[in-house]
Amino acid sequence: MSIVLATVNPGEAEVFSSLQGEGLGLGRPSVFVRLSRCNLACRWCDTAYTWRFSGDNRPHRDEVAFERAENQIAMSEEDAAALILAHPEDRLVITGGEPLLQGAALARVVALLKAARPALHVEIETNGTVAVHPALDPLVDQFNVSPKLAHSGNDAALALVPERLAEWALDARAWFKFVVASPADLAEISGLQDRFGIASDHLFVMPEGTASSILRERSRWLAEEALERGWRFTDRLHIHLYGDTRGT
Percent of the residues in the chain that have a pLDDT greater than 90, as a whole number: 100
Burial class of residue 223, CB neighbours in 10 A (0-12, 13-18, 19+): middle
Cα–Cα distance for residue pair 221/5, rounded to 1 Å: 36
Each residue's pLDDT tens digit, 137-168 = 999 999 999 999 999 999 999 999 999 999 99
- The pTM assigned to this predicted structure is 0.97
Each residue's pLDDT tens digit, 69-121 = 999 999 999 999 999 999 999 999 999 999 999 999 999 999 999 999 999 99
End-to-end Cα, the chain, rounded Å:
28
